[in-house]
Amino acid sequence: NAGVTQTPKFQVLKTGQSMTLQCAQDMNHNSMYWYRQDPGMGLRLIYYSASEGTTDKGEVPNGYNVSRLNKREFSLRLESAAPSQTSVYFCASSESLHGPRTDTQYFGPGTRLTVL
Amino acid sequence: QKEVEQDPGPLSVPEGAIVSLNCTYSNSAFQYFMWYRQYSRKGPELLMYTYSSGNKEDGRFTAQVDKSSKYISLFIRDSQPSDSATYLCAMNPGTASKLTFGTGTRLQVTL
């Protein structure tokens, strides 16, 4: 039982390049989330998916797109990376059918992204 | 002003000390309050959550919420070096809305 897995662990991009961050969970959870964590800013929600087939914007969605590929997988895409997107990205999942509520969110190990 | 304020620390205490970690918030709609622990270069993990005001105890950890003061605390008794981590508070109104996180307090428990 791996929980929440993320790939890659590290990535360096040049400004304007694109990439997709992958996330998968094996807990049969309904809801999945993408956060970014920056020094002094805490965790900020980028997008979430309350259930398979639905996605919604979080606090900082600009510059990102997401795909809920199936119940297990939720990917985050940067179409044209900018230095402001340098951050640590966390994927999380929870059992809830209702998005970010009170049930436990389980986090992945993170992807450290640097945009030059 | 941020919705949730948390002192970033670092907070350094000797092994065995009682640790007090705190957050203040401005949104009176928040009803669910959580504490996450994050070890270096790892994802956060939920430690405790409480609903509305009051105390909740789990082993060496006690979470306290004072809604009238918009202030929440996490107490760690008999602190251990393995408690060294960043502690994030998080809260939400309990509806289908996002969790709002504090910036985290880094705790170092020394031998």
DSSP notation for A35-81: EEEETTTEEEEEEEESSTT--EE-S--TTEEEEE-SSSBEEEEESS-
Q: Name residue, tokens 């993408």.
A: A34
Model pLDDT, residue B49: 85
**Residue B62 banded pLDDT, cuts 50, 70, 90:** very high
Q: Name residue, tokens 């670092």.
A: B10
Cβ contacts from A onto B, under 8 A: 63
Model pLDDT, residue B13: 96
Given A58, A98, A106, which is nearest B96 (Cβ)? Answer: A98
* Chain A residues with CB-CB distance to B4 below 8 A: 42
**How many CA within 13 A on the CB side of residue B108?**
6
Given B8, B95, B98, which is nearest A59 (Cβ)? Answer: B98
For residues B62 and A32, give the distance between their C-alpha atoms in angstroms, rounded to a whole number: 29
- Taking an 8 Å cut-off on Cβ atoms, the answer to whether B41 and A110 are in contact is yes
Written as six digits, the tokens of B55 are 């105390």
User: Could you tell me if B103 lies within 8 Å of chain A, comparing CB atoms?
Assistant: yes
> What average pLDDT does this structure show over B9-16?
94
Model pLDDT, residue A51: 86
* Chain A residues with CB-CB distance to B93 below 8 A: none
Model pLDDT, residue B92: 84
Assess whether pLDDT exceeds 70 at residue B97: no
The low-confidence residues of chain A, meaning pLDDT below 50, are none
* Chain B residues with CB-CB distance to A104 below 8 A: 46, 49
Nearest CA in chain A to B44: A107
Q: Give B33-60 pLDDT, tens digit per residue.
A: 999 999 999 999 999 988 888 899 999 9
Model pLDDT, residue A82: 97
Query: Are the C-beta atoms of A61 and A46 separated by less than 8 Å?
Result: yes
- Taking an 8 Å cut-off on Cβ atoms, the answer to whether A100 and B96 are in contact is yes
Nearest CA in chain A to B8: A40
